[in-house]
């Protein structure tokens, strides 16, 4: 049974304020992603009466986006980076899905999977996008801005990785506390990014992004193993698993914990959502910096 205190959590932060969220209409997001924008594929539609059966199948095969993720991030205690933490989870899930690696229990606090290093999982820096999305540091950023940046120039790897990939350019993952799988550090402006950082960031860009046109399409994307990033109650989160018994959306929150949105909340939150379907991938998973 899921702890009720983890359901429909409203946090006292300001990472996705209403005046920024209002800009995140589907048309706007479609435009800023340009050639990466995709309609919801008809082949992904699942009739609602079949959702539970598909969820049970995903449980058996560990086929959720949650099992494509191998870490939590931690933006706490006071950063406003949530839209970029949600973006990084969406991206990393799509990239690891392309690799075909499964992390059976999904993210675990203070735990590193051996397979993360073996299979070339790369941990990205939400701060590497947020520093451009909001140069003033405080007040958050909307999806329109962070998606445009990620598609245009990509994300930098975190200073902490599951093994040494010899990246030429890295950045602390957050101006918050971080954790054992994410570096924390001081706020950094773009002028202080490592020289030539664009060379590495371009290796980590979304190539195809789908924008659901209904709550049902958002659920279908999650049932097919993709993350769906949404914003609600001033906070942005990546839905990564649908739980039929309680009709909950599970998400790895950027505070070292998995939380859940009820169907009531989810039905009000899907607008302005996105799902990264494909990303850039390396010629060799063993050498992602090449």
**Among 193, 93, 197, residue whose Cα is nearest residue 153:** 197
| Per-position DSSP letters for 46-78, written without gaps between them | --GGGHHHHHHHHHHHT-SGGGG-----B-TTT
Side-chain-facing half-sphere of 134: CA atoms under 13 Å: 25
The angle, 0 to 180 degrees and rounded to 10, between the axes of the packed helices 143-153 and 26-33 is: 20
Side-chain-facing half-sphere of 270: CA atoms under 13 Å: 20
Apex 267 CA angle, 237 and 91, nearest 5: 30
User: Cβ–Cβ contacts within 10 Å for residue 55, how many?
Assistant: 21
In this prediction, residue 2 carries a pLDDT of 94
From the first residue on, what is the mean pLDDT of each consecutive set of 10 residues in the chain (290 residues)?
95 88 95 98 98 98 98 95 98 98 97 97 98 96 97 98 98 98 96 98 98 98 98 95 97 98 97 97 94
Which ranges constitute the DSSP H helices of 62-122?
82-99, 114-118
In this prediction, residue 65 carries a pLDDT of 98
What is the CATH code of the structural domain delimited by 4-279?
Answer: 3.90.70.10
Q: Please tell me the distance from the alpha carbon of residue 252 to that of residue 259, in angstroms, as a whole number.
A: 6
In this prediction, residue 290 carries a pLDDT of 86
pTM, two decimal places: 0.98
DSSP-based three-state secondary structure for 245: coil
């Amino acid at each position: 049974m899921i702890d009720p205190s983890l359901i429909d959590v409203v946090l006292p932060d300001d990472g996705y304020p209403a005046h920024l969220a209002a800009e995140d209409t589907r048309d706007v997001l479609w435009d800023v992603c340009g050639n990466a924008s995709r309609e919801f594929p008809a082949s992904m539609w699942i009739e609602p009466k079949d959702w539970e059966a598909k969820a049970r199948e995903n449980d058996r095969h560990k086929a959720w986006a949650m099992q494509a993720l191998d870490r939590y991030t931690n933006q706490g205690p006071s950063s406003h980076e949530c839209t970029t933490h949600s973006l990084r989870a969406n991206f990393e899930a799509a990239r690891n899905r392309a690799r075909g690696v499964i992390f059976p229990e999904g993210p675990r606090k203070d735990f590193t999977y051996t397979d993360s290093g073996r299979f070339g999982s790369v941990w990205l820096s939400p701060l590497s996008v947020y520093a451009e999305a909001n140069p003033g540091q405080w007040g958050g950023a909307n999806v329109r801005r962070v998606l445009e940046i990620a598609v245009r120039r990509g994300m930098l790897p975190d200073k902490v990785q599951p093994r040494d990939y010899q990246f030429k350019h890295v950045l602390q993952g957050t101006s918050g506390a971080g954790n054992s799988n994410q570096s924390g550090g001081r706020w950094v402006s773009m002028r202080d990014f490592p020289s030539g950082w664009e060379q590495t960031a371009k290796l980590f860009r979304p190539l195809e992004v789908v924008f659901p046109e209904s709550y049902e399409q958002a659920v279908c994307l999650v049932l097919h193993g993709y993350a769906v990033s949404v914003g609600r109650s001033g906070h942005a989160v990546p839905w990564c698993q649908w739980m039929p018994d309680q009709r909950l959306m599970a998400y790895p929150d950027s505070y070292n914990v998995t939380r859940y949105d009820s169907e009531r909340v989810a039905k009000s939150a899907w607008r302005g959502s996105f799902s990264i379907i494909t990303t850039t991938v390396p010629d060799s998973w063993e050498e992602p910096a090449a």
